[in-house]
Amino acid sequence: MQTPLTPLDFARRARRLYGDREAVVDGDRRFTYREFLDRCDRASAMFQRLGVSFGDRVAYIAPNTHAHLEGYYAVPQLGAVLVPINYRLSAAEFAYIIDHSGATVVCVHPDYIGMIDGIRDQIPGVAHFIALEGEADGWQQYESLIADAPAEFDAPEIDENDLITINYTSGTTSRPKGVMITHRNAWVNAVGTLAHHHLGTRDRYLWTLPMFHANGWTFVWLITACGATHVCLRQVAPPEIFHLMEAERISMFCAAPTVLISIANAPKELRDNAPKGIRLFTAGAPPAAATIERVENELGWELTQVYGLTETAPFITICEPRPEHDNLSASERATLKARQGVELMTSGDLRVVDDDGVEVPWDGETLGQITVRGNVVMKGYYNDPEATDEAIRNGYFHSGDAAVVHPDGYVEIRDRLKDVIISGGENISSVEVEGVLLRHPAVQEAAVVGMPHEKWGESPHAFIIRQPDAEITEDDLRQFVRDNLAHFKTPQWFSFVDELPKTATGKIQKFVLRKGQAGINQQ
C-alpha cells in the first residue's frame, strides 16, 4: 500500500474536501479549489498537446500571479520538471538558466516578454513561448490555450524521487547552480512546516514572498494542503501589503528580512492601522533583534524565524517557542527569536561542526559550519557533479553558514563562512555587529564587511542607511557599538549610503561592498 510522497497529493485531497472553498485571489479574479485545480488540469493537458512529456523542463518567469501558481501543479502532474526563474535577473541570466536547464517551453509574464524576445537566438532549445497574460507577437496565449484544452490529461506514474523542480541559486559570485528538488523533498518540507506551525481552512496567506524563491518555501503546495486561501501579490510595496491585510483578512505571510524592514519602517499611518495578530515567517538572512522587536511590539504580529537553503527544500530549523520564553522581557525574547532555532522534526540530523567534522560544543561561542543530512536535502546540482560532491560530502550537506549552538540547542548563525572577519586573530561576526547597529534608532539598514587594515589584517567597515531625516555621525555609531560589544568588534570605518547592493532575492552582496564597487551613492 505504499504510495509516493508528493505534494500533488495535497491537490487531490483539496479537490475532494475543499472544492467550494476559496482557493486563490488575484486582484479581481477569485477561484474555488475546484475551479483552480480544474485550470491546473487543463494546463497539464495543454502542455501535453505541445509535446511536453515526462522529465521535460518547463520554465516560468512571472511575479506572484494565479497563472504562476498553477504551474506548480500543471507541470509536475505530467512528470515534467518546473523551472521557476527569478524574474529580477538580467536577460543574459535568463538565457543561461533556460539553456542550462534544457527547458523546451517558457511561460512568461508580459513584463518580461521583451527581454525574452531579445535572447531567442541564445535559447534554441525552446520550442514554445507562452504569454501568461494578454497577447504578444510570436507568443501563444495561455488563457486561450487552456480554454481550448480538454479537462483531462494522461497522468503518468510518478516516483517520489523524481524531480519536481529545478531551482537556480542567486549566483552572486559564480554562475547560478540548478538545485534538483524531488517530490519527496517538497512533501517532507511542507509536512514538517505544518507540524511545527499549524495552518487550517480559516487561514488566508498573502504572497509577499516570491513563488520562485525555493518554491515559495513550499507554501505553493502547503497552503493547498490545509485548504487555506492563496492571496496573490504582484508587487511588494508596503501600502498594498497593508491594504490587502485588511481587505482580505490576511492571517499569515512570509518575508525576507529586507521586506520585513520595509514593512517595519512603513509610514506610521499604515502601521498604526495594521490588523493585529498576523503570523509571519522570516528567513533568508538573520534578522536583527531590533526589527523583530518592532514587528512584534509595535505591529502586534507574531514572528517566527526559520532557516534553510534552496538546497534543503528549504527549511532545516525553526525558532520554536518554549514555555520558558514567556517570562522573558520583550528585548530578551527578540534576541532569542533572532536565532535560527532547532531542527524540524522532519528535516533530519543537523550538526554544527568544526573543520575536522567534529560537532562543536553547545556553549554559544565556538564557531562551526551548519551541516545536515535528511529527506529535505536536494538530489544534487543539475549537470554539475563536481559542485554536488563539494556540497555533499561525508554524508552531510555543507551549508557554508558559520554558526554557534547555545546550551539549549538553539543554533545561531554568525555569518557566512566567507564573511567572517578575522581581525588581529580574533573572529568577528558581521551579523552580530549589524544587529547592534540596527538597534540604534537612526539606523534603517546596515551591512558590515571586512576591509584590509595595516595593523590588524582586516577590520570591520560598516555601510549605513539612515532612517529618514535622522541625524547621526560616525562617532555616535562608533560609541554606540563600543557600549554594546567588545571594543575590537567596533567598525574601523563607517560609510553612510543611499542603498545597499542586493541580490534579486534581497540578500546584501557583501562581496560588492568589499570590492568597493557598490554602485551606490554615498551621503
> Residue 293: pLDDT band by 50, 70, 90 thresholds?
confident
pLDDT at residue 504, rounded to an integer? 65
- Bigger pLDDT: 299 or 520? 299
Alpha-carbon distance of 493 to 502, in angstroms, equals: 21
**One fold for 8-17+24-170 and 421-515:** no
The mean pLDDT of 441-467, rounded to a whole number, is 89
Q: Is pLDDT at 212 greater than 90 in this prediction?
A: yes
| pLDDT tens, position by position, 308-360 | 999 999 999 999 999 999 899 988 888 898 899 999 999 999 999 999 999 99
If you search the block for the grid coordinates 522581557, which residue do you land on?
329
Q: Is pLDDT at 523 greater than 70 in this prediction?
A: no
Copy the grid coordinates of residue 506. Answer: 534581497
pLDDT at residue 520, rounded to an integer? 44
- Which residues in 71-146 belong to E strands, given as ranges? 81-84, 103-108, 128-131, 140-141
pLDDT at residue 171, rounded to an integer? 56
| pLDDT tens, position by position, 246-273 | 999 999 999 987 788 889 889 999 999 9
Q: What share of the chain is helix, strand, coil (3-state, %, to 5)?
A: 35, 25, 40
The mean pLDDT of 381-393, rounded to a whole number, is 96
Percentage, residues of the chain above pLDDT 90 = 77
Pair 275, 251: CB distance under 8 Å: no
Q: Which CATH architecture has domain 8-17+24-170?
A: 3-Layer(aba) Sandwich (3.40)
Alpha-carbon distance of 417 to 487, in angstroms, equals: 22
Domain ranges of the chain: 8-17+24-170, 236-416, 421-515
The mean pLDDT of 5-24, rounded to a whole number, is 98
Alpha-carbon distance of 77 to 152, in angstroms, equals: 11
The full DSSP string for 325-339 is GGGS-HHHHHHHHTS
DSSP state of 410: -
Alpha-carbon distance of 185 to 374, in angstroms, equals: 9
Q: Which CATH fold topology does 236-416 show?
A: Rossmann fold (3.40.50)
The mean pLDDT of 221-242, rounded to a whole number, is 97
| pLDDT tens, position by position, 46-90 | 999 999 999 999 999 999 999 999 999 999 999 999 999 999 888
Please state which of the four CATH numbers 3.30.300.30, 3.90.650.10, 3.30.565.60, 2.160.20.60 is assigned to the domain occupying 421-515: 3.30.300.30
